[in-house]
Amino acid sequence: MYKKILVAINEFTNSEVAARYALALAKSCRSRLFLIFAAEEGIGQNAFGHAEGALVRLFAAAEGMGIEVESNTVKGATFKTISGVVREHGIDLVFTATRREDIQKRFFVRTHAREFMMNLPCSVAMVRVVEMGRTHPRNILVPLKGHLSQIEERAYFTAKLAQGFNARTTILNLSGPIKGIFQSWEQERDFGPDKHTAKGVEDFISHLEQYKVQHERRSAQGSVARSITTEAAFRKNDLIIMGASERGLFKSFLSGNPVENVLRETPCNLIVFRPGRKSR
């Protein structure tokens, strides 16, 4: 499914740490790996050198893992450059690391993260690194809720990444809040996922089983973001893979954005995954 994977490298260590997940996935999928550093206008000497150093180290690591790899430093605006490479080479999946601004800005407005997520014509994995020293996940948490689209690709991504690290997965079914603004109806609902989630979870698991990935099921009730981060902290998960939010700005404003909240509060590294547009 992923024949060509691109990793966007920048001067921050996060991007290098994030690339380690891409390396594992590329090895697992036998993909060709593109390591791209888009050097923006006015970038400092030190920052440039830092990114270049990261490219060298990652290139060497990829080669050592037997991955077909190509690295490139290209002058130009980040999104434009990456988007150009994606289109030119027919990239299937782009890995990018979050920057500080992605975490700080509400709804990711005018951030690279939003640009990548909204406009790249391929799948995108946005990595938030909070634990630099733990890039070898042993137990990956996969929270699932609501209408799940492109289940096959989601399961493939999860399974291949898990295989790359020989990790097991925990599927977390999420159900509604414990108490809402009227504090009355929600708490009496049956504990468990809604119908859509239940079906999506079953499909996801059946796909996961095809890849023989060890998995465990858990369920949680309460606010989505808090349930995910609490579960991850409690079970000592070392990576969370969650779907990108499909909420628009208005809905996010009204009822919040769980992805944004998880990005801020995650106790371990996080990958926000958006399946490719081509297959939609």
Encoded one letter per residue, x for contact with another protein by CB under 8 A and - for no contact, window 15-34 reads -x---x--xx----------
Between 247 and 261, CB nearer to another protein: 261
**179 contacts another protein (rule: CB under 8 A):** yes
> What is the β-pairing status of strands 168-175 and 93-97?
unpaired
Shortest reach from residue 85's CB to another protein, in Å: 7
CB atoms within 10 A of CB 104: 10
**Residue pair 233/203 in contact by the 8 Å Cβ criterion:** no
Give the C-alpha distances (Å, rounded to integers) separating 152 from 140, 168, 232, 274: 18, 18, 24, 13
Number of residues that bind another protein (CB under 8 A): 72
Between 69 and 124, CB nearer to another protein: 69
Binding positions for another protein, 40-59, rule CB under 8 A: 46, 50, 52, 55-57, 59
Binding positions for another protein, 213-242, rule CB under 8 A: 216, 218, 221-223, 226-227, 229-230, 233-234, 236
Could you tell me if residue 42 is left (phi over 0), alpha (psi between -120 and 50 degrees) or otherwise beta? left
User: How far is 210 from 19, CA to CA, in rounded Å?
Assistant: 26
Binding span for another protein by CB under 8 A among 117-125, 182-190, 200-208, 244-252: 182-190
Backbone dihedral angles phi then psi of residue 23, each to the nearest 5 degrees? -60, -45
Encoded one letter per residue, x for contact with another protein by CB under 8 A and - for no contact, window 127-166 reads --xxxxxxxx---------------------------xxx
Between 163 and 194, CB nearer to another protein: 163
3-state secondary structure of 246: coil
Candidates 6, 18, 85, 159: give the one binding another protein (CB under 8 A).
85
Candidates 2, 5, 9, 11: give the one binding another protein (CB under 8 A).
11
Residue indicated by tokens 């698991």: 205
Candidates 182, 195, 212, 255: give the one binding another protein (CB under 8 A).
182
> What is the β-pairing status of strands 269-274 and 123-128?
antiparallel
The number of C-alpha atoms within 13 Å of 235 and in the hemisphere containing its C-beta is 26
Between 100 and 196, CB nearer to another protein: 100
Binding span for another protein by CB under 8 A among 64-72, 105-113, 143-151, 204-212: 64-72
Backbone dihedral angles phi then psi of residue 210, each to the nearest 5 degrees? -60, -30
Structure tokens at 255: 């009822």
Candidates 76, 90, 192, 248: give the one binding another protein (CB under 8 A).
76
Shortest reach from residue 255's CB to another protein, in Å: 12
**181 contacts another protein (rule: CB under 8 A):** yes
Shortest reach from residue 207's CB to another protein, in Å: 22
**Residue pair 114/167 in contact by the 8 Å Cβ criterion:** no
Query: Considering only CA atoms, which of 149, 142, 135, 155 is closest in space to residue 22?
Result: 135
Binding positions for another protein, 192-211, rule CB under 8 A: none
Could you tell me if residue 107 is left (phi over 0), alpha (psi between -120 and 50 degrees) or otherwise beta? left
